[in-house]
Structure 1
Amino acid sequence: MEIRHIVFDIGKVLVHYDPDIPFSRIIPDPAERRWFFDNVCTSAWNIEQDRGRSWEEAEALLVAEHPAHADNIRAFRRHWHEMVPHAYDDSVALLERLVAGGHDVTMLTNWAADTFSEARVRFPFLEKPRGITVSGEIGLIKPDRAIYDHHAASFGLEPSAALFIDDSQKNVDGAMAAGWQAVLFTDARALERDLAARGIRI
């Protein structure tokens, strides 16, 4: 099937994300920091903000469970901006070349609504594609099929003609289960090869 739509994930594809950046300072001991992320501010906890839960509610829940870690729990949102220090210039250049070449490019991301508002200001290239679906704004997250169907309906994509690019295998699998084509992102050079193999000229 000819690819007529290209859909990018953002975190770890176009923008660097690493909670260890601020927390290596906040919790200097590596074992203690790993315990904190494994047991307090876990990925499962954080994904609910991507689904639309407010940070106030998220913090309150954890502080009630782990009162001794209240300051570090609140530090997660307070220092969020340090977790996304820069974009990947080579990936952004590739995206911009696709847009400039007339390809239909959109974005689909798991991201909390309020922090994504900050990201829009910090990373102007996010405005270049035709549009973005932000999980926290619609209450749906990858890899649930509903978010892929929502994105396709919102932007008039034919799923079988859409290529999804994501750094998470489960999200790639979710897109394929929704009838999309998809590739796992590792770096910009590999992505360029993947696009060329599918007949996408840049």
Structure 2
Amino acid sequence: MIDTIIFDLGGVLIDWNPEYVFLEAFNGDKEKTTWFLQNICTGDWNENQDAGYPLAQATEDLVNKHPEYESYIRMFYGDWEKMLGGVIEGTVAILDKFIQSKNYKVVALTNWSNETFPIAQRRFEFLKWFDGIVVSGDENTRKPFKDIYDITLDRFNITPENALFIDDNLRNIEAAKALKINGIHFKNPEQLIDDLKSYNIHIS
């Protein structure tokens, strides 16, 4: 019996993509943008800041490593707000259904720097709807590490078998399932509505 829904934020409810900054920086060159994000300002590098590493220090570390890309590296957090593309409307509508039903505890578990998360809080009203939000940068750990799932379960008194976790990163879903938390690998709102039915949750 599912009584708790746990939402990821970026890629599920919020459209966040560094390409919004770097496609412009590289004059629309998709190949150059992809190379830069796979080799310089990588996902692994950014996730280290999601676990609480200071943005300024991370920037200097990378500039020292790749001085020829200094101006672009400084754009990553300097222009970070431009990476926020807006809400994923279909998923926010699903979230609203859960909130309005009052049948579920609804929380969020996000990999997000605690230095940039306040920007999202100011921009997105729906972040006030949750019963609580666990921000990795506040906890000095992140998904898919066990600690952050344990923090979420303990803080909100969640029974793992009764919880359903929605995340766009399969790695994070698999880590949750290892702790007996049910999971849906999010691809789009329509697929989410269909997958919810397997848990006898029907979103009209």
Task: Give TM class, smaller chain.
Answer: over 0.9
CA distance in 1, matches of 2:96, 2:53: 32
Q: Find the counterpart in structure 1 of residue 175 from structure 2.
A: 174
Q: Find the counterpart in structure 2 of residue 8 from structure 1.
A: 7
CA distance in 2, matches of 1:63, 1:11: 26
- CA deviation after TM superposition for structure 1 residue 192, in Å: 1.5
RMSD over equivalenced CA pairs, Å: 1.1
Contact 1:104–1:130 (CA under 8 A) maintained in structure 2: yes
Q: Find the counterpart in structure 1 of residue 52 from structure 2.
A: 52
Letter matched to residue 14 of structure 2: V
Q: Map of 1:51-200 to 2, 5 A cutoff? A: 51-102=51-102, 103-200=104-201
Q: Find the counterpart in structure 2 of residue 31 from structure 1.
A: 31
Contact 1:52–1:139 (CA under 8 A) maintained in structure 2: yes
- CA deviation after TM superposition for structure 1 residue 145, in Å: 1.2
* Structure 2 unmatched ranges of 5 or more: none
Partner SS state of residue 2, structure 2: coil
- CA deviation after TM superposition for structure 1 residue 201, in Å: 4.1
- CA deviation after TM superposition for structure 1 residue 86, in Å: 0.6
CA distance in 1, matches of 2:95, 2:121: 16
Once superposed, which parts of structure 1, at least 4 consecutive aligned residues long, lie more than 2 Å away? Answer: 28-35
| Deviation per residue, 1:110-165 (Å, 9 max, x gap) | 01111111101100101101000000110111111111111000111001110000
Contact 1:162–1:181 (CA under 8 A) maintained in structure 2: yes
Partner SS state of residue 16, structure 1: strand
Contact 1:165–1:184 (CA under 8 A) maintained in structure 2: yes
Q: Percent identity?
A: 36
Contact 2:10–2:110 (CA under 8 A) maintained in structure 1: yes
- CA deviation after TM superposition for structure 1 residue 15, in Å: 0.5
The TM-score, its normalising length taken from structure 2, stands at 0.95
* Structure 1 unmatched ranges of 5 or more: none
CA distance in 1, matches of 2:150, 2:31: 41
CA distance in 2, matches of 1:76, 1:198: 39
Contact 2:193–2:202 (CA under 8 A) maintained in structure 1: no
CA distance in 2, matches of 1:4, 1:35: 43
Contact 1:7–1:164 (CA under 8 A) maintained in structure 2: yes
| Deviation per residue, 1:69-118 (Å, 9 max, x gap) | 11110101111111112101110011011011012110000011111111
- CA 1:18–1:196 in structure 2 vs 1: closer, same or farther (change >3 Å)? same
Partner SS state of residue 75, structure 1: helix
CA distance in 1, matches of 2:30, 2:201: 43
Letter matched to residue 182 of structure 1: G
Letter matched to residue 91 of structure 1: T
Contact 1:6–1:106 (CA under 8 A) maintained in structure 2: yes
The TM-score, its normalising length taken from structure 1, stands at 0.96
- CA deviation after TM superposition for structure 1 residue 44, in Å: 1.0
Deviation larger for 83-92 or 21-30: 21-30
- CA deviation after TM superposition for structure 1 residue 33, in Å: 2.3
- CA deviation after TM superposition for structure 1 residue 30, in Å: 2.9
Contact 1:145–1:177 (CA under 8 A) maintained in structure 2: no
